[in-house]
Amino acid sequence: MTAGVMSTPPVAAASRLLMSGNEAVARAVWEAGVRVAAAYPGTPATEMLECVATYPDIYTEWSVNEKVSLEVAFGATMAGSRGFCAMKHVGMNVASDALMTMTLTGVAGGLVIAIADDVGLSSSQNEQDSRYWGRFAHLPLLEPADSQEAHDFTLAAFELSERFEVPVILRLTTRICHVKGLVRIGARSERAVAGFTKDVSRWVMVPSAAGRRLPLMFERERRLRAAAEISELNVVESGPDRRVGFITSGPAYMHVRESFPDAPVCKLGFSFPLPFDRLRKFAEQCELLVVVEEVEPLIETELKAQGFTVTGKDLLPLSGELSPQVLKPAIAGLLGEALPELARTAPMAVFPRPPTMCVACPHLGVYYTLSQLRNVTISGDIGCYTLGFGQPWNALDACISMGASMGMALGLDKGRSDAEKDKKIVAVIGDSTFLHMGMQGLLDIVYNRGNVTVLLLDNRAVGMTGGQDNPGSGRDIHGKEAPRVDFANLVRALGVRPERVHVLDAYELPVLLRTLREETKIPEPSVIITNQPCVLIKDYHALKPYRVLDERCTGCGNCVDVGCPAIHVTRRERVRKASGREVDLAFVRIESAACTGCGLCLKPCAPDAIVHVDTLAMPIKVIRKSAELARNTQDV
């Protein structure tokens, strides 16, 4: 369970609890009488479903990807139940194929889709604005500004969904998802389930049926705009200082109110379709009108198209949060005032901490091994192993989106020049990412006879988002036993020849290096599966830790190249060899309290200076044999 997520569901009515926006949404999902909830983990949205799973009366699942999660939730609404799904912003790119037809069919039971945008790029490969999906799919969109509104707007979204028979998008951002506040909660409202009503003209979207429903979609949007005009979710707050009025939505409202407490503000909680008549009345009370929105100028553009005179992104940045430190200078410049003095706290002087993998992470040895290869291009994917691009490995050349390592690797193979015909192509992908969107790419490699070696890193967890389970872990969202995918059989079923499939221990570096060298020479698809679990899940069992014998350490630094955070450089020296060549030495120690005894550092240690903590001078061959025996007895 991710830190901060409730382990037991509070069920008392009319209480107030300290909740994050994610927790507040989950509570409202339970109160709304939802029967089915599905998601694929992704920060900042992950905790929504984790928390929903702690409530009774709701079927919850980690789906293999966001598209499937949306289809599961939609299927529940076809049966007359309320459904919910959650995803981060890039997840809707995956789910959009289903979304763009659901807007035509509409829904029977209520369907709410929570999309969490990562404004500021705290944990994402891009910063897209999910409000576009409301416009693109002609769906109503609600934007809460704090935890209480996250709860209340979720309940309102289900009511809106059933009133208009339409999916409703609940757009959140990292600021809403993770910041906590007091939330008034209520009791669960059980709802009767009408059951599925057969209607092929609605549920079977062949072109003729879709064509008949297009006018219904546009008529629905007209009625939704009328509803937005009178919605209590859109609030106008007057103020004595009418020089500048603000139109805003979501957490940007909080920044506006903090920065300009005396200004008029129109807060759009029901932000699409826009209530143009209401906004015109608001504009009349302001000398200047500024749109504050994160991150794209959607509202601004639509208002300008309607003839409004507004200012927005010509003053404000197109990325990142619009904090008071951004807003106050911008508005001062607009009014021709002196720039305000902003309280700034000097940053603390701290030792730089670049992102790295965990102590004993099974990916460490993989990237150390990849760094030993020459004349190779490495196509990567989304997960903890993306960190392989950095120091000390420098063993990742590309990373775009979930599952893209497969297609990129095939394109690198087919698009290589004659001068690079001998270059080796390696694709690296994790277990959950492979199941999410990588299987199709491998099938494409096989079908089109790509010369690609695939490293499938099976650590039995969705590691980067907190160790959630997936079909490869053998457990469901509640931790109960579930069917576990056999990756070796799966890739063979996708067409990889049996002799080209290898299952290896990620800690056995010599075997891994030898296998990689052999397979990259074979001009056909091959798959190497590493099978050690993530060190942060219960499947991992720590062994006896190691330490460094100072008298043996020669400063070769080979163990540092493994990249384990438990290894610390205590001093560096530059010496001149007899040949006249200068070399850098790095003398190290191992933080035994952090070491889990994986033994990765033993393999490259040239002077045999690494021993178990209770070892004095045992021969290194005995030490290595002991570690090998211990690893072989581990339950893997």
Same domain, 79 and 140: yes
Residue 248: is its pLDDT beyond 60? yes
- 289-311 pLDDT tens trace: 999 999 999 999 999 999 999 99
Whether residues 499 and 403 share a domain: the answer is yes
**CATH number of the structural domain spanning residue 78:** 3.40.50.970
Q: What is the pLDDT of residue 614?
A: 83
- Beta strand 546-548 with 610-612 is antiparallel
pLDDT over threshold 50, residue 2: no
Residue 576 lies in a domain: yes
**Interatomic CA distance for residues 565 and 360, integer angstroms:** 8
User: pLDDT of 113-146, one tens digit each?
Assistant: 999 999 988 888 888 999 999 999 999 999 999 9
pLDDT tens track for 36-79: 999 999 999 999 999 999 998 999 999 999 999 999 999 999 99
Q: What is the pLDDT of residues 273-289, one digit of tens each?
A: 999 999 999 999 999 99
Q: What is the pLDDT of residue 633?
A: 42
Q: Please choose, from the candidates 186, 190, 164, the residue with its C-alpha nearest in 3D space to the C-alpha of residue 112.
A: 164
Per-residue pLDDT tens over the stretch 373-416 = 999 999 999 999 999 898 899 999 999 999 999 999 999 999 99
623 pLDDT more than 90 = no
The verdict on 329 and 383 lying in the same domain is no
Q: Which of 111, 110, 116, 142 is nearest to 233 (CA)?
A: 142
296 and 405 both lie in a single domain: no
* Same domain flag for 171 and 242: no
CATH of residue 297's domain is 3.40.50.920
Whether the pLDDT of residue 617 is over 70: the answer is: no
Please name every residue paired with 245 in a beta bridge, in sequence order, or none if there are none: 289
pLDDT single digits (tens) 72-122: 999 999 999 999 999 999 999 999 999 999 999 999 999 999 999 999 888
Helix/strand number for the chain, H first, E second: 20, 22
Is 630's pLDDT higher than 50? no
Q: Residue 276: inside a domain, yes or no?
A: yes
| Cα distances (angstroms) measured from residue 102 to each of 108, 155, 202 | 11, 21, 10
pLDDT for 636 equals: 35
pLDDT confidence of residue 349: 75
Final residue of a structural domain among 497, 530, 563: 530
Q: Is residue 353 part of a domain?
A: no
Check whether 463 has a pLDDT greater than 60: yes
Looking at the fold, whether 366 and 487 belong to one and the same domain comes out as yes
Of 435, 401, 424, 423, the closest CA to residue 529 belongs to 435
Residue 536 domain flag: no
pLDDT of 3 above 50: no
Q: Is residue 459 located within the same domain as residue 517?
A: yes
What is the rounded distance in angstroms from the CA atom of residue 253 to the CA atom of residue 600? Answer: 51
Least confident of 12-16, 189-193, 226-230, 313-317: 12-16
Contacts of 163 (CB under 8 A, 6+ apart): none
Mean per-residue pLDDT over the chain, rounded: 91
User: DSSP class of residue 82?
Assistant: -
| Mean pLDDT in residue range 11-17 | 69
Give the tens place of pLDDT for each residue, 525-543.
999 999 999 998 888 999 8
Residue 165 within a domain: yes
Q: What are phi and psi of 593, to 5 degrees?
A: -65, -25
User: What percentage of the chain exceeds 70 in pLDDT?
Assistant: 93
Q: Are residues 217 and 244 in the same domain?
A: no
- Mapped onto helix, strand or coil, the DSSP state of residue 430 is strand
For the record, the structure tokens of 586 come out as: 């790095």
DSSP H or E segment with residue 220: helix 207-230
Q: Tell me the residue range of the domain where 610 lies.
A: 546-633
Distant-in-sequence, close-in-space partners of 314: CB < 8 Å, separation ≥ 6: none
Residue 484 domain flag: yes
Same domain membership, residue 197 and residue 292 = no
pLDDT at 350: 74
**Structural domain ending residue among the three candidates 317, 335, 353:** 335
- Considering the domain boundaries, does residue 6 fall inside one? no
User: Does residue 257 sit within a domain?
Assistant: yes
Question: Pick the residue with more confidence: 343 or 578?
Answer: 578
Domains contained in the chain, number: 4
Whether 193 and 297 map to the same domain: the answer is no
Q: For 584, which DSSP code?
A: E
Of 36, 52, 42, the closest CA to residue 468 belongs to 42
Q: What is the pLDDT, as a whole number, of residue 1? A: 36
Task: With a cut of 70, say whether residue 343 has pLDDT above it.
Answer: no
Element (H, E) at 282: helix 276-283
Element (H, E) at 529: strand 526-530
Together in a domain, 516 and 429: yes
- Domain-ending residue, one of 164, 195, 230: 230
Using 50, 70 and 90 to split pLDDT, how confident is the model at 622? low
- Residues 451 and 558 placed together within one structural domain of the fold: no
